[in-house]
Structure 1
Amino acid sequence: MSDDHDSSVATIDQLVDALIDREGDYVANPADRGGATRFGITEAVARVHGYGGTMAALPRGEAAAIYRRLYWLRPGYDAIATRAPLIAAEMFDTGANMGPAVATTFLQRSLTALNRNGRDYPDLVPDGRSGPRTLAALDAFLALRGATGEIVLLRALDALQGERYLRLAERRPANEAFLYGWLANRIGKK
């Protein structure tokens, strides 16, 4: 998210459509451990959610339903959206790309690092679940820091995401094929 972001709040439908557009159509890159994907949905995820056809034919509506269910509602990002819609958009995008537990852990780590040694709210255990303690910490942070705090928190989330991409490329050279696109299309782009 950049400083010149639009002040309008995206709906989940808009977030899903933008994500599907970024992810693109059918891809079967042999370097991708996720295997064949369509609209960013891996075959394994599609199968778990009841899709039995070929990945090249996965309907856009089915992909959108999976994104809403698995990457928005299940991790509780709808509850985050009522407090901080820009943070929720970031969490959704990161969660769809890295898994919701990773995205939520990024939020928990960031909130803990920004709590001024526990003076503002208690430290969080980075467990990858956005439950009542995480939401309370987010509420306290936003009450203290306001709209500017939301931008700073977005920067912290992007920093953690970018560091993870670099680490993935360093640990597995085949991921270098994806690093440029990850950085170009995921960091600061929601």
Structure 2
Amino acid sequence: MNTSVQPAAIVVMGVSGSGKTTVGRELARALGVPFIDADDLHPQANRDKMAGGTPLTDDDRGPWLRTVGHTIGEQAAAGRGVVVACSALRRRYRAAIADEAGVPVRFAHLTGRREVIRERMDDRAGHFMPPALLDSQLETLEPLASDEDGTAFSIDAGPAEIAARIRDWAASDRREEAAV
């Protein structure tokens, strides 16, 4: 990856069912960097809690967020960029990830109507996050603030098109930064 054009890390964020994993995989493929699903980094206790319909607390999330950030930092230390699919619902969660990573982290927030996301959750099989927790995720979500390094992307298109939009945003932003 050409780090003068691409960021060290892009976190594809949003509520469960927004398409983070699908878009993230497509984006990583397009950028030629590794993909990591932060859901795979949850300890089993967190996965069991969510599967049982209980939302995670900040105490549950803290170690997991540090693991996500640490994993990003490891990729950077190995000279690789990375795309990570991670809910990163609150500003302080995003800050924890970026602080632990120790490298620039950009956030691409996938947004869409609740009804569309709920339908997607209802249609997928085998995921530990039940559709019943969508409302708690929407209540927890703090959209990106203007001073955060990221932007929102509508889920109104297919995964490849959304990934292309994110790739173009990241590349154009980095070129602008390099020109300054």
Query: The TM-score by the shorter chain falls in which range?
Result: under 0.3
Higher helix share: 1
Structure with higher RCO (Cα < 8 A, 6+ apart): 2
TM-score by length of 2: 0.24
TM-score by length of 1: 0.23
